[in-house]
Amino acid sequence: TDSKWANSSKKAKKPTSVLEAWNIAEDVLTEQVKGYWNEFNKALQACDPRSEGIISRNNFRKILQLYCPSLTDDHFIAMKQIEDHIYKQARNRTIDEVLERLRDGILHQEMGMRDAFLAYHKQASGKLSKTDFRKLLEDIQMPMSDDHFNLLIEKIGFPVGGLSYLDFVAMFEDSRLGGPCSNRQINASKSHFMSAEECLSQYSDKLVEEHGDAYIAFRKIDRNSDGVVTMLDFRRLLDSLMISMTDEEYVRLLGILGMNETSTLNYPEFLQLFQTHSTKEMRPWLTTSYNFTFIPANYQA
């Protein structure tokens, strides 16, 4: 491999300010990496085996030292100061700025925000605790200080039993949250809980409207790709379809379907539930009359 980049005698000048350090580092990175992007990219991927798009600061520094040896400790320190400054600014967002960002995401039906919310379901009820909600805010680039987070919780009237996705949407459909407003509780009329019978009459059609067919929906909720979904996964699916149920009613729904909270479903079983209550025509290759075998993504012959 051509290593002239590593032996370059050209040194980046010592920065006199944080902003200058950032600009110098950016120029050096652009100049030295552009001709060796494939190698640089492979080094980044090697430090991110799960393809999460995140690597540690130490690993990133090692990569930069390898590909951009002219960057000095002064540059790294200055870049770290900029990062800390940006994070501090983010933590000092006003409550109304956070509410406006969340409201815009809901009204514009941002998939990333919904997926992030559903991914943080840790409770069996499918609801977010305050801790989960705070992690969600950090995940969508809205970290908050303790004081600001507590004020936010108070302002939106965070439910004692946790926050469901339907509650979350109902909050931000209220135009009063677009600006300063008094403390309030979730509008109960918008947070409608369905009965088991209502769910059975609607969920198959809603699934088609949202995902297209049962196979796509199954693969989406089968998060570890083992070909089996749990009842928590199934409840997440209902939440994503805007079907909100009380804990008691959800248990009753499972009973009607011949299941309980510890049950699991493979794809043929999930498909059977879908077919039983669907009023829409399915794609023929997805029906059980076809000889279909579901193979988990991690299956090895």
pLDDT, tens only, 41-90: 888 888 887 666 677 778 888 887 887 776 667 667 766 766 666 556 55
Look over the chain and give the mean of its residue pLDDT values, rounded to a whole number. 70
Instruction: Provide the 8-state DSSP code for 263.
Output: -
| Ordered DSSP codes for 159-217 | -TT-B-HHHHHHHHHSGGGGS--------TTTSPPPPHHHHHHHHHHHHHHHHSSHHHH
Answer positive or negative: Cα dihedral of 11, 14, 20, 26.
positive
Q: CA neighbours within 13 Å on the CB side: how many for 41?
A: 5
What are the two backbone dihedrals, phi and then psi, of residue 230, each rounded to the nearest 5 degrees? -95, 175
Backbone torsions φ then ψ of 84, nearest 5 degrees: -65, -40
Assess contact for 204 and 237: CB atoms under 8 A. Answer: no
Give CA–CA dist 101/270, Å, rounded: 36
Q: Cα–Cα distance between 226 and 78 in angstroms, integer?
A: 45
Q: What is the pLDDT of residues 120-166, one digit of tens each?
A: 665 555 678 888 888 888 777 777 778 888 888 888 888 888 887 77
Residue-wise pLDDT for 19-36, tens only, equals 666 676 677 777 777 777
- How many C-beta atoms surround the C-beta of residue 218 within 10 A? 24
194 in Cβ contact with 245 (< 8 Å): yes
Contacts of 222 (CB under 8 A, 6+ apart): 228, 229, 233
Tell me the backbone φ, ψ of residue 273, rounded to 5 degrees.
Answer: -60, -40
Sign of CA dihedral 144, 150, 156, 158: positive
Instruction: Tell me the angle at which helices 214-221 and 231-240 cross, rounded to the nearest 10 degrees.
Output: 120
Show Cβ contacts of residue 250 under 8 Å, excluding neighbours closer than 6 positions.
126, 196, 235, 238
Does pLDDT of 16 surpass 60? Answer: no
- The residue that leads in pLDDT, 287 or 44, is 44
- pLDDT(271) > 80: yes
The CA-based angle 58-64-68, given to 5 degrees, is 155
Evaluate the CA torsion angle 33, 38, 39, 40 in order and state its sign: positive
The Cα-based distances of 5 to 8, 36, 147 in angstroms read 5, 9, 48
Domains by residue range for the chain, with CATH: 18-91 (no CATH), 95-174 (1.10.238), 196-277 (1.10.238.10)
pLDDT, tens digit, 9 for 90 and up, residues 156-186: 888 888 887 777 776 665 544 444 343 344 4
Q: What is the pLDDT of residue 52?
A: 63
Res. 109 pLDDT band, cuts 50 70 90: low
